[in-house]
Chains A and B, each alone.
Chain A
Amino acid sequence: MTKLTKTKLGTTVAAIALVAAGAAGAEPRTNMLHQWHSGANAEAIQVLGEMYEAAGGEWNQTAIAGHTSNTIARLRADVISGSPPAAVQLKGPEIGEWASTGLTANLNALAEAEGWEDVVSAELVSVMAPHGEWVAAPMNIHRIDWMWASASAMDAIGETELPTTWDQFNDYAARMAEEGIIPVAHGGQDWIDATLFEVIVQGISTDLYRDAFVDLDLDALQGEDMVAAFDQLRLMVGWMDPAFPGRGWEEPLNMMAQGEAGFYFHGDWAIGTMNAAGYVYGEDYLCAGAPMNSGEPGYILNSDSVVFFEQSDPDFIEGQALLASTIMTPDFQTVFNVAKGSIPARMDVELGDEFNPCQHRSLADLQAATETDTVVLSMAHNMSVPERFRRAMFTVISEFITSDMSSEDAARAMAEAVINEY
């Protein structure tokens, strides 16, 4: 594998050297701005650094702690002050927005040389190459619509198969409540609220999801199906323990894995944490795609990617090509994603035993959902709509969860929130 990677890198670098005339003799180096400052994420990014150095580059990184906005603040400050970072972790429609500023570097030559278009999941190509121009390299595919279930809680209600529709889920949850188990573990931050809600919406109808969370269709946002989604959310709020507001995303995960709570709906970065904590699939927790009322497989997709900004220093220009190329190697995609809980963004990478059973399932479900055309881009994780709409919807969802707002009012508020942002 390594041999193959090296030769491939060689040809790529040669191709890029042709494109970037005058770059001959440049020492590839880079400085990547990202927010993976600690824990499993930091280890995963460390892998990238090591591979980059092994490929002959000089690796530097700027990890920004705290909220994503801190990273964006740093990016904006750097861009405005005329020194944009060589590489930065950005995702979703923001890639397109930054590409429109004309400050991003064009990776088309490299993409063509390495045939990215053939191997990258189709859903991602439009995101990474927003105006037909590759400006970003995808690192992984995260699945959002995971249903994690506690093995002991399932035992307690005498079930072995996870629910596949919301009605069935509601039945299970009600029985868990009778057993004294908290049916739904939940964290109390707006993005966690929105993660749960988009899973419900996709489960109610993929058309609703697309109309409301991708196309921002006002009728869909306040329609009957949206009201039904809020009704389901209201039901589930009743099954949460009262201490959830303000809680992070890991605590509910522990509650679920330890059997204190029955279900938890959250993205697959949870796998990284559960591996680290020593929870075992099958013994402590089970996983499945969240219920889909349609019976079709569902998949809410999220992807981390690296965007490249135009540089003037030939060392950095060469470094960008090398970094993009390193990110796209099957080697990196494997090592990085084993640690992060996600699956490779390249569809041609075989998942080995080092991947968790849930990760294997993720790939199988993605392929199945691609067949039935039920793969959607995550709204909550900044893949489908511009940030301002996302924020506006977050506000409504979180307000709904923490107050006694009616589902009808919430649906109307969603439409109003979106319209106010136009």
Chain B
Amino acid sequence: MNYGIELSNQSAIIIGVVAVFYVIVITVFGGYFARFNKNINDFFYSGQRFSWWLPAASMIATGIGSYSYLKYSEQGFNSGMSSTMTYMNDWFILPFFIFGWLPIIYFSRIKSIPEYFERRFNRTARYISLVIIMAYMFFYIGYNLYTIGVAMEGMFGFPQMYSVPLLSIFLGAYVTFGGQTAVIFTDLFQGIMLYIAGGIAIFAGIYALGGLTEWWEWLPISHRLPLVHLTDNPKFNTAGLFWGEALAGSIAFTFMNQGFIMRYLTIKSVDEGRKAGFFNVLITLPLSAVIVGAVGWIGRSLINKQNALGHALEGYNFIEIDNTFHTFIIICWETVHQNPWIFGFIVAALMAALMSTIDTLINACAAIGIYDLYKPLVKPEATDEHYLKAARWASIITTVIGTLLVIWFNQQEGSLMSIHYKGIMIIIPSIVTTIFLGAFWRKFTPTAACVSMVMGSAITMITVWYPSVIDGLARFVSGPENGVYIYLRALFGMCVTGVIGIAISFITQPKKDEDIVGLTIDTIDESMKIYKGGEPNFELGEKILKLKVSLNETLSYNKIQLSPNNMNILKAKDGDLTYIADSRWFLGGLRSEHVKAFENKELKDDEILMSTPTKDSAYLLDGKTVDVEKIF
């Protein structure tokens, strides 16, 4: 495989230098954040201190994997702008997430999805879910490493057995030392990088075509449409995409992807988490759909124009795409006039996509390793220092396992995309349905959860060898009946799991109501009270800016005092949960903390009082002012 482009030795060296330089810069940048990890809560959840925009912006890069550019450009070239469908059909599940799952996990202080399973059901459910979730995440880690390995080998002839371990070392290094904070800040940086590189590729393509109007007019109607044919293409059709991707896939990505869940848990409040959620679905995902797929749409238009004219576009080579999987590489290479520096930057973006997805997953797998295996089973009582060290070892072990999985991926047959979808659509349905029933139906029993997860997974797996069992369901929803079920397999798995779960719930005993407080949607109010340690105060106040910090060592840790006027502006009562942060907005809450506010009649309006331990835990610097806002 040579990716349809011929690189001279000089070009290959330049591209390689740009890419390696980029990887080194990111590793050093990520390593800087090791200083913000005092305990494992900092290491995995950054102390729940960030403003919404920081995790939201960093999710851009997390959501775009190394395979995304290659896969969606190919999809865009073959079926047109409907390649955006998987990124733009997530709104339907948002009510469940924004008002259901997000407050449940946030207020009940869940650290991992398996932990939710133990608290909501029992320990058996925890470890069944752990196996499924780990399979899901390791699958993604291995798959991303494999795709970048394939790309490196194809473009530069650099064998996977060298490129993959080398990349893993760099990745593992900053995740191991910097933890979640490093992941968020590097992903923010990489997100910007992805958009710039994607923007360059799109601009170069549109410029080659002669402008946006030319691009649109040379695009056939079938390639302009936002939604694909209802059933025609067995691998990409609206009916299958709706049930399998908009519902099952989106729920999986939002509800059970430990990496994304952890990102939401780094945010300072549920309200800010909601902002991030809306921003992600409304802005990030549609924009990402354009960034990863547009080169394919441009490629289609360009080839049509070129074929109609009967010759290459002026100033460009005649472009031929024999293997559509190479669309992104070929179109970029040709439209940037084979400039190795610019192309090197685009290849670095592929690296960025890989690193930003995998760093999140490594951190997430390590979190599960610590919270669900090491802490409860190996060493329940240990110091923070010990767990922090263990967390770093967990990151290293995760990286090594992910790297070894590349060997397994290399032995699989079929295209990259079919491997991807087949794997994911088998793994997710049973656990997604169990989470859904657990969170939204109080009567769902522990026995039902365990049995439905195991049986749901087993029956979904069987459909790989006997796909005809899905025929009836496909007929029922007027989906494609072709035996090549990809998305409808997920719907089938969800239905089977749901039916088994509901049936068993009717004949087994649910957990007592008092044992599942805060873990179902109808108990969120109680959960908020427990989270705050008192009655929540929902009255909306205003944020107070630029207060000078004064120290008073008689104040308890995590308590602050404000003037009566400031308490009134905040609409806060004594003991209300507030949030203090360094006034410099661009830090995004890196230097901040949750504290309880109390009134002090002797304080001036431009002053805030706290003890040194509180100041230190917020990482506040001498001479810098702070902003204060009420959480609730």
- Please say whether chains A and B are actual partners in one complex: no
What residues make up the interface of B, taking CB atoms closer than 8 Å to A? none
What residues make up the interface of A, taking CB atoms closer than 8 Å to B? none
